[in-house]
């Protein structure tokens, strides 16, 4: 079993925010690099604890993690080794919790808040088999976090604007000299943003973001399969601190066809032929998935299960390089009922037959 973020903090899956915070404080102290200089394992643990806390302390990220196994919505991307980008300490930072132990010496170099890329989002589109070959336009509602419409994403009440933080003059970092050490830590007033909002936007309460359902109209390209992932760059969730938006991944769910079976860009169809057609050879008609009929030459002596390729009548290739093939899998069909004449003819044939199909079994 892979270690979960809950394991990283040593808490239960239903742990309260308080329990998570407590566990984090304890572990962050224990593994802090200042206390474990040069200890690679402690360093790894410290990162792991930070990552876990970053996700689990944020209700939104935690919900997503619980659902998808990762905070960015990509299924299966979970586990403690995933790079979640930069850490948000959610209300307090490591330097202030370490203050008590290290006499005010902050851990690590504090930096201005880094831009964070927005989360990726996944949406599902259901298509008929025909539409998957023809291409289609689909309307997809996607629930995601976008820039607040009221304030345009600034977080400031409409008509006002965020101002340069007077505490750090917009640097996002505060430096102070304390005895031997020059102390640098994220500005507590603006939390590293460099700007502060005096009158928060009432719609987003100053976050600049809101949850919304966006209706995208998508052109689904001809030739998608069941499970094809289409990436729409920048159509995911809004980034933080000027970071780019995430991507939208649209996964196609294609209804299976009764006749055609997909094999890459090729389509396989079972074509029944009679014993005489298989033995004597014949030209038979085969339907294509595009509503046409094509002629297929069945060679004399064809065996049951033989596959014949009809070039260029398969599914469109997504790279635009034409279509795959239609593959006719021949099935020799045996009549269930015989007329008197047919029976007589077959009995005559059996008398004439010199072929023993079981010969190889005894050799
Ligand atoms: Zn500031
Ligand atoms: Zn707003």
For residue 179, the model assigns a pLDDT of 65
Q: Decide if pLDDT at 305 tops 90.
A: yes
Q: What is the whole-number distance in angstroms between the Cα of residue 167 and the centre of ligand 1?
A: 5
Q: Tell me how far apart the alpha carbons of residues 278 and 297 are, in angstroms, rounded to a whole number.
A: 10
Q: What torsion do the CA atoms of 200, 204, 208, 214 make, to the nearest 10 degrees?
A: -160
For residue 55, the model assigns a pLDDT of 82
Average pLDDT on 333-351 reads 94
| Helix-helix angle 40-56:17-31, to 10 degrees | 160
For residue 180, the model assigns a pLDDT of 65
Which ligand does the CA of 113 lie closest to? 1
CA angle 58, 59, 65 (to 5 degrees): 85
Each as own residue / partner, the long-range contacts of residues 331-339 (CB below 8 Å, 24 or more positions apart, any chain) are 331/270, 331/271, 331/272, 331/273, 331/304, 331/305, 332/272, 332/273, 332/274, 332/275, 332/278, 332/302, 332/303, 332/304, 333/272, 333/273, 333/274, 333/275, 334/275, 335/274
For residue 96, the model assigns a pLDDT of 36
Report residue 53's pLDDT band, with 50, 70 and 90 as the boundaries: confident
Choose between 279 and 91: higher pLDDT. 279
Q: What is the whole-number distance in angstroms between the Cα of residue 206 and the centre of ligand 2?
A: 6
Q: Decide if pLDDT at 171 tops 70.
A: yes
Average pLDDT on 271-294 reads 96
Choose between 116 and 64: higher pLDDT. 116
Q: What is the whole-number distance in angstroms between the Cα of residue 159 and the centre of ligand 2?
A: 11
Average pLDDT on 165-178 reads 81
Q: What is the whole-number distance in angstroms between the Cα of residue 91 and the centre of ligand 1?
A: 14
Q: Tell me how far apart the alpha carbons of residues 4 and 23 are, in angstroms, rounded to a whole number.
A: 15
Over the stretch 18-52, which tens digit does the pLDDT of each residue have?
Answer: 999 899 888 888 887 777 777 888 888 888 888 88
Please say whether the beta carbons of 43 and 30 come within 8 A: no
Instruction: Out of 80-89, 178-187, 228-237, 279-288, give the one with best mean pLDDT.
Output: 279-288
Q: Cβ atoms within 10 A of the Cβ of 82, count?
A: 16
Which ligand does the CA of 152 lie closest to? 2
User: Which residues lie closer than 8 Å to 241 by C-beta, 6 or more apart?
Assistant: 113, 114, 115, 116, 193
Q: What is the whole-number distance in angstroms between the Cα of residue 176 and the centre of ligand 1?
A: 14
For residue 88, the model assigns a pLDDT of 35
**CA distance readout (Å), 197 to 156, 207, 255, 357:** 6, 10, 51, 88
Over the stretch 67-102, which tens digit does the pLDDT of each residue have?
Answer: 766 544 333 333 333 333 333 333 333 333 333 333
In terms of Cβ atoms closer than 10 Å to its own Cβ (0-12, 13-18, 19+), residue 55 is buried
Question: 3-class SS at 212?
Answer: strand
User: Which residues lie closer than 8 Å to 321 by C-beta, 6 or more apart?
Assistant: none
Taking the whole predicted model, whether its pTM rises above 0.85 is answered as no
Which ligand does the CA of 112 lie closest to? 1
Cα of first residue to Cα of last residue in the chain, in angstroms, is: 53
Over the stretch 252-273, which tens digit does the pLDDT of each residue have?
Answer: 999 999 999 999 999 999 999 9
Over the stretch 105-130, which tens digit does the pLDDT of each residue have?
Answer: 333 445 556 788 999 999 999 999 99
For residue 122, the model assigns a pLDDT of 93
For residue 2, the model assigns a pLDDT of 64
Over the stretch 143-158, which tens digit does the pLDDT of each residue have?
Answer: 999 999 998 888 899 9
Q: What is the whole-number distance in angstroms between the Cα of residue 196 and the centre of ligand 1?
A: 7
- To the nearest whole percent, how much of the chain has pLDDT over 70? 85
Q: Which segment of 57-66, 150-159, 350-359 scores lowest on mean pLDDT?
A: 57-66
Q: What is the whole-number distance in angstroms between the Cα of residue 2 and the centre of ligand 2?
A: 39
Relative to beta strand 307-310, strand 260-263 is: unpaired
Q: Decide if pLDDT at 5 tops 70.
A: yes
Q: Which residues sit with Cβ closer than 5 angstroms to ligand 1, an ion?
A: 165, 167-168, 187, 189-190
Average pLDDT on 313-334 reads 95
For residue 297, the model assigns a pLDDT of 97
Q: Decide if pLDDT at 199 tops 80.
A: yes
């Amino acid at each position: 079993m892979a270690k979960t973020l809950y394991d990283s903090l040593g808490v239960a899956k239903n742990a309260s925010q308080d329990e998570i915070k407590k566990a984090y404080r304890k572990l962050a102290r224990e593994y802090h690099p200042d206390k474990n200089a040069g200890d690679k394992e402690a360093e790894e643990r410290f990162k792991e604890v930070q990552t876990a806390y970053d996700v689990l302390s944020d209700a939104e990220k935690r919900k997503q993690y619980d659902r998808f196994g990762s905070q960015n919505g990509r299924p299966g991307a979970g586990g403690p080794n995933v790079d979640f980008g930069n850490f948000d300490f959610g209300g307090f930072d490591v330097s202030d919790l370490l203050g008590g132990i290290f006499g005010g010496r902050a851990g690590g170099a504090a930096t201005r808040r880094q831009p964070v890329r927005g989360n990726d989002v996944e949406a599902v589109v259901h298509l008929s088999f025909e539409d998957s070959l023809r291409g289609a336009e689909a309307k997809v509602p996607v629930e995601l976090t976008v820039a607040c419409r009221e304030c345009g994403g600034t977080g400031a009440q409409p008509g006002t604007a965020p101002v340069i933080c007077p505490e750090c003059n917009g640097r996002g970092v505060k430096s102070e000299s304390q005895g031997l050490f020059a102390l640098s830590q994220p500005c507590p007033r603006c939390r590293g943003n460099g700007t502060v909002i005096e009158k928060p936007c009432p719609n987003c309460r100053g976050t600049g973001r809101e949850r919304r359902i966006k209706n995208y109209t998508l052109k689904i390209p001809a030739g998608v399969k069941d499970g094809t992932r289409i990436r729409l760059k920048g159509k995911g969730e809004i980034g933080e601190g000027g970071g780019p938006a995430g991507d939208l991944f649209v996964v196609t769910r294609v209804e299976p066809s009764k006749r055609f079976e997909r094999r890459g860009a090729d389509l396989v169809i079972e074509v029944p032929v009679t014993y005489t057609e298989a033995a004597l050879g014949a030209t038979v008609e085969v339907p294509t998935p595009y509503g046409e009929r094509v002629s297929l030459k069945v060679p004399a002596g064809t065996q049951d299960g033989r596959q014949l390729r009809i070039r260029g009548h398969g599914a469109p290739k997504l790279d635009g390089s034409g279509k795959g093939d239609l593959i006719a899998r021949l099935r020799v069909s045996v009549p269930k009922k015989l007329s008197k004449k047919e029976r007589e003819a077959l009995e005559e044939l059996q008398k004439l037959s010199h072929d023993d199909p079981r010969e190889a079994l005894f050799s």
